[in-house]
Chain A
Amino acid sequence: MSVRPLTEDQRDAMQEITNIAMGQAGSLLATLLGVFVNLSVPRINVLALSDVADAIGSMVGRNIEITAVRQSFHGYLRGEAIVIYGRDGCKELGDLMGYDEVLDRTDEIELLLDVSNILVGACLGGIIDQIKGITEAHGAGELSFSAPSLMAENVPAEVLINPDKLTWTHALLMEVNFTLEGRNFISHLCMLMPGGSIEKMRNILDEFVASF
């Protein structure tokens, strides 16, 4: 099945909306950790589901083991938000949060879940806020989020998404990443939406572009 990319205007609008939302998430992270957070230029793409795993692998880096936390969202849009951490990420977080002792794995995971929840909430919340005027005019209700849960531990990034387990044919993939100044920490936030939501998002973006 062929995949229809976003138009240039749609992609451009999605990128700017994501950029603004990411700024809010980055600021929360900076406050939480007390360090300067470098923000990335958001990457936006519509892909065949079979290509998503590979795309994530090339963004995050191959041959490195990652731990990932997922949160799904549903309502007028649905999809998955996935936060990906490298191996050192958890240790760096514990260190920055001022934990003196070496965290055991349970504490580490709890910390990852908390931080992921903050990033996803701010990022997705920031996107929703900006398109609210449009979605509300169409009578769309609120989105709801699942609790964050551990998706994978110490696996290569390219095997994170198993296309056989999803019924989607293609996905809108949005990726932003946060690096911490002077630290060996990077976390990627990927948002994935399936076909029906992509079509709704296209319409929302068209209206967004037309409003400027």
Chain B
Amino acid sequence: MARKMLIKALPSSWDVDITQAGNGEEALAAYRAGKADVMFLDLTMPVMDGFQVLEALQKEGLNSFVIVVSADIQPIAQERVKKLGAIAFIKKPVASDAIESVLKQYGVAL
């Protein structure tokens, strides 16, 4: 459901293939397999949470472009994910223009 809600909020003009992951471990596997130029990452997940995914990406030196999308709106959570290399934090429920403005800010062609 979280993924469905996010996908609906992506800019319709954005020409991309989407790979979905059910938890952090699956997301990391997809990233390692080169399936993601941009990753939208939740924090509260089973098996491996979003903080752990960011740590793993950082440790493996993967050149990541991760946008955290989370219901965890504590200021400390936002600080931490930025420190761990996330480029942006978008709070849930996600608004389409919040995503669009982050993508535009980083020069993503929409």
User: A residues near B, CB below 8 A?
Assistant: 9, 12-13, 15-16, 19-24, 26-27, 30, 36-37, 39-41, 130, 209, 212
Not counting A16-B2, A23-B72, A41-B46, a sample of 4 additional A-B residue pairs whose C-beta atoms are within 8 angstroms of each other reads A20-B93, A24-B71, A26-B74, A27-B72
C-alpha spacing A209/B3, complex, angstroms: 12
A16 & B5 in contact (Cβ 8 Å cutoff):
yes
How many CB-defined contacts (below 8 Å) exist between A and B? Answer: 51
C-alpha spacing A83/B45, complex, angstroms: 23
Q: List 13 A-B contacts (CB under 8 A).
A: A16-B2, A16-B5, A19-B2, A20-B92, A20-B93, A23-B71, A23-B92, A36-B76, A36-B77, A37-B74, A209-B1, A212-B1, A212-B5
Interchain nearest-CB distance for B38 vs A (Å): 20
C-alpha spacing A204/B8, complex, angstroms: 19
C-alpha spacing A26/B4, complex, angstroms: 24
Interface size on B, residues (CB 8 A): 19
C-alpha spacing A212/B34, complex, angstroms: 28
Query: Which residue on A lies nearest to B80, using beta carbons?
Result: A36
Query: Which residue on B lies nearest to A11, using beta carbons?
Result: B1
Query: Which residue on A lies nearest to B72, using beta carbons?
Result: A23
Q: Does B73 contact A (CB under 8 A)?
A: yes
